[in-house]
Amino acid sequence: MYNLVDLTDRRILVIGASSGIGKKTAITLSELGAKLVLAAIDEEGVKEALTELSGDGHAAYFVDVGKLDEIESFIKKIVAENGPLDGLVYSAGLGTAIPLAMSKPEKVQNTFNVNFFGFFETVRQVCKKGRYNPGMRIVGVSSCASLRGDKSKAIYSSTKSAMDSAVRCIAKEVADREICINTVAPAMTATELYQKFVDKYGEDSDTNRELTSRQYLGIAQTQDIANAIAFLISPAARFITGITMPVDGGLTTS
Amino acid sequence: MTDQEKIAKLEEIWELDEGTLAADTVLADVDEYDSMAKLSLIVLMDDDFGVKLTGDVIKGFETVSDILKLMA
Global ipTM: 0.81
* The pLDDT of residue B29: 95
* The pLDDT of residue A210: 78
Question: B72 pLDDT band (50/70/90 cuts)?
Answer: confident
Contacts of A118 (CB under 8 A, 6+ apart): A15, A65, A66, A68, A71, A90, A92
Alpha carbons A79 and A164: distance in angstroms, whole number: 26
Query: Which three-class secondary structure state does DSSP give residue A103?
Result: coil
Residues of chain A with pLDDT under 50: none
Quick check: B69 pLDDT over 90?
Answer: yes
Closest residue by Cα to residue A226 from A29, A5, A19 = A29
* The pLDDT of residue A172: 98
Question: B55 pLDDT band (50/70/90 cuts)?
Answer: confident
Distance from CA of B71 to the nearest CA of A (A): 18
Query: Which three-class secondary structure state does DSSP give residue A54?
Result: coil
Residue A103, classified by CB atoms within 10 Å of its CB into exposed (0-12), middle (13-18) or buried (19+), is middle
Nearest CA in chain B to A204: B55
Query: DSSP per residue over A139-164, as a string?
Result: EEE--GGGGS--TT-HHHHHHHHHHH
Question: B23 pLDDT band (50/70/90 cuts)?
Answer: very high
A244-247 sheet: strands from edge to edge: A59-62, A35-40, A11-15, A85-90, A132-141, A180-186, A244-247
In chain B, pLDDT over 70 holds for what percent of residues? 100
For chain A, the distance separating the N- and C-terminal CA atoms, rounded to the nearest angstrom, is 38
Cβ neighbour number for residue A105 with a 10 Å cutoff: 7
| A152/B44 Cβ within 8 A | no
CA dist list (Å): A161 to A87, A154, A155, B38: 22, 10, 10, 26
Question: B1 pLDDT band (50/70/90 cuts)?
Answer: confident
Query: Which three-class secondary structure state does DSSP give residue A181?
Result: strand
Counting every residue written for chain B, the total comes to 72
| B55/A99 Cβ within 8 A | no
Task: With beta carbons under 8 A apart, name residues in chain B contacting A102.
Answer: 13, 39-40, 43-44
| A207/B35 Cβ within 8 A | yes
Distance from CA of A113 to the nearest CA of B (A): 19
- Secondary-structure class of domain A11-189+223-239 per CATH: alpha beta
CA dist list (Å): B18 to A201, B5, B28, B31, B45: 29, 11, 19, 15, 20
Domain boundaries, chain B: 3-68
* The pLDDT of residue A141: 98
Using an 8 Å Cβ cutoff, are A54 and A101 in contact? no
Task: With beta carbons under 8 A apart, name residues in chain B contacting A101.
Answer: 13, 15, 40
CA dist list (Å): A232 to A126, A135, A243: 17, 12, 10
- Rounded to the nearest 5°, which phi and psi values hold at A233? -85, -5
Question: B38 pLDDT band (50/70/90 cuts)?
Answer: very high
Per CATH, is B3-68 categorized as 3.30.40.10? no
Angle at which helices A154-174 and A118-126 cross, to 10°: 10
Alpha carbons B63 and B30: distance in angstroms, whole number: 10
